[in-house]
Structure 1
């Protein structure tokens, strides 16, 4: 396997997931700023969606989308489990990962793309600058919801999972692009600092 990677929170999710697993695989750096991910040969040979990361398997095929990549890695290397070892654990992880993605990560990322990242993305995708403030507010609302509903030390309860990796990588990114975590969210702030102290956070930065 090898990982086609670049700057940004999405590739970092997979790199942190790999670090949690103790796995080292070759990285191929894609020039995101230069638009390498949006042209040949990348879109033909690696990911027609023109996005990073992409996990290239030994047979040359590629798995894209961070949740699919991480689930594949977890199945191939089940220890330590970051999705779950039972149907119930896997369902809980997928539920919280989906909630984190929809309520926080997606609106946060698009809020950035339509505002601070506008010059980079306006020639690559449809951008809606007028939507940026609302999307950032939606991401904050999602964090407020999480603050009130997270029960355990980790997002999915008593297990450190993909949901934690996903949220941490996006919150760490958000802090650099004008969307810092509100310190008034005490549980999430404490959670963030705990995850930040994990070796995988530094290894994936």
Structure 2
């Protein structure tokens, strides 16, 4: 089994998940800035052109970051980053959906249609006129997350879960592209600092992130 990886917040999210679980495997890096993931032979493995992917020993390929993490959690249930009980798993998935739908998708698309437009304009359909509004929607969602973090260390209380990792990798990347987080969101700011102090936050960064100029 090996991880088909690259620079970027989504590959980083899987690497951070693996680091928290102390999972090691072969990693095959791809040049997404050069578009390697948008042409053969990569497209034979994942026709969507997205990175990362998990290539199993039998050649089957699993894509989508959350699906990869769910699979790894089943293989390595301890420590549980989704949950050890039905209630814990439901709680973690609820938090994950909240951050994905209310924050991450808006911020990622705001970047693709704004600061990242030179990179994405010839790869996917882009809506440059939507970038500012998408950023505003993401900030609204982040304000909601700030209320959900009140009195908590992480999204699910005292335990770090997949939702924390997904949100952290998104925000850390987005801020590195020039976005600003409202300093009034004290709970988010404290949570960011808390997650940033974890060894996995540093070890999951691409080796060349400083050269690229973005944290992914």
On whether the aligned pair clears a TM of 0.5, the verdict is: yes
Residue number in structure 2 paired with 1:77 = 76
Following superposition, the deviation at residue 60 of structure 1 comes to 1.1
Following superposition, the deviation at residue 26 of structure 1 comes to 1.2
Q: What does the per-residue CA deviation read over 1:51-82, in whole Å, with 9 as the maximum and x for residues that have no partner?
A: 00001111111111011000100110011000
Following superposition, the deviation at residue 9 of structure 1 comes to 0.6
Q: Distance in 2 between matches of 1:94 and 1:182?
A: 26
Residue number in structure 2 paired with 1:150 = 149
Residue number in structure 2 paired with 1:103 = 102
Q: What does the per-residue CA deviation read over 1:73-132, in whole Å, with 9 as the maximum and x for residues that have no partner?
A: 011001100000111111111111011111111110000000111011111110000000
Residue number in structure 1 paired with 2:134 = 135
Runs ≥4 in structure 1, deviation > 4 angstroms? Answer: none
Paired residues of 2:148 and 2:155 also in contact (CA < 8 A): no
Paired residues of 1:37 and 1:43 also in contact (CA < 8 A): yes
Residue number in structure 2 paired with 1:117 = 116
Q: Distance in 1 between matches of 2:124 and 2:82?
A: 32
- 1:182-193 matches, within 5 Å, as 182-193=182-193
Q: Relative to structure 2, which stretch is displaced further, 58-67 or 12-21? A: 58-67
Paired residues of 1:84 and 1:93 also in contact (CA < 8 A): yes
Name the TM-score, length of structure 2 as normaliser: 0.92
Q: Give the match's secondary structure for 1:175.
A: helix
Q: Distance in 1 between matches of 2:12 and 2:97?
A: 18
Residue number in structure 1 paired with 2:196 = 196
Can you give the 5+ residue segments of structure 1 that lack an aligned partner in the other structure?
Answer: none
Following superposition, the deviation at residue 150 of structure 1 comes to 2.3
Residue number in structure 2 paired with 1:86 = 85
Can you give the 5+ residue segments of structure 2 that lack an aligned partner in the other structure?
Answer: 206-216
RMSD value, Cα: 0.9
Q: Distance in 2 between matches of 1:78 and 1:120?
A: 38
Q: Distance in 1 between matches of 2:166 and 2:104?
A: 8
Residue number in structure 2 paired with 1:174 = 174
Following superposition, the deviation at residue 171 of structure 1 comes to 0.7
Residue number in structure 2 paired with 1:55 = 54
Q: Give the match's secondary structure for 2:23.
A: coil
Name the TM-score, length of structure 1 as normaliser: 0.97
Q: What does the per-residue CA deviation read over 1:155-181, in whole Å, with 9 as the maximum and x for residues that have no partner?
A: 122221001101110110011112232
